[in-house]
Amino acid sequence: MSASSENCLEVLAVAADSAKLAAFERRSFLRTGGIAAGAALVGLVARDAAAQSATPPTGPRQQMALVRRHENDHVAFLLNGLGAAARPKPTFQNLLQPNLNAFLTVATALENTGVGAYLGAAPAILDPGYLSAAASIALVEARHAGFFNSFRSKPMTLNAFGMELSFDAAFTPSQVGGAAGSFIASLNGGPPLDFSNTRSAANDVAILNYALALEYLEADFYNVNVPLFYGV
């Protein structure tokens, strides 16, 4: 993964920790639209790219630590943007894996499911800025999926249904729910993993909350298992 991509995600984490930037991004994301938030993000990335040029180590431990950090950064970014409109965090189950092979198998499935989920939601997004933000996350999810596929000696573009494709397949909300459902004990009053195919401002928020549920799942999965199997 490039240094600029990692710097981008580091900026998202810093923004999530800053009360001032959090208030600004919520106003940009939900009141003036995703384009303003995207422009602000580009400025932050450019600022930090000049200051951080070192390439981190890329062994398995470091790669797993990066994947874990990316997913937590995605959660922070979506929470930051949604503000009071963010869904409650679901309660998850069955996250702890019994061995390394099981962890890698589930990680591969989750990442490939995430890629299909974002691709399936993209045509229903109204705001171009929201589409850009979702695409930015989706591309990192795709890099994760290719990494795990290759790490397990599978074709790098093998999707969650075991199909090797030149053009990735979009997943419906029901397919995503079927893949992720066994890990969700309760949505805790939050919206279902669903959205409308009719574009609207309200549907954009529904899609971001749909994405947030998946990012919560991935982040918690790695928070439980990466320290166990990789010590980071």
Task: Please state, rounded to an integer, the average pLDDT across all residues of the chain.
Answer: 84
| Single-letter residue type at 23 | A
Nearest alpha carbon to residue 96 among 230, 229, 231: 229
227's CB contacts (< 8 A; 6+ apart) are none
Structure confidence by residue, pLDDT tens digits, 33-88: 555 455 545 543 554 455 455 566 678 999 999 999 999 999 999 999 999 999 99
pLDDT for res 58: 74
51's CB contacts (< 8 A; 6+ apart) are none
**Cβ pair 221, 107 in contact under 8 A:** yes
| Chain-centroid distance, C-alpha 63 | 16
Structure confidence by residue, pLDDT tens digits, 10-35: 433 443 444 444 444 454 555 445 55
Structure confidence by residue, pLDDT tens digits, 144-183: 999 999 999 999 999 988 899 899 999 999 999 999 999 9
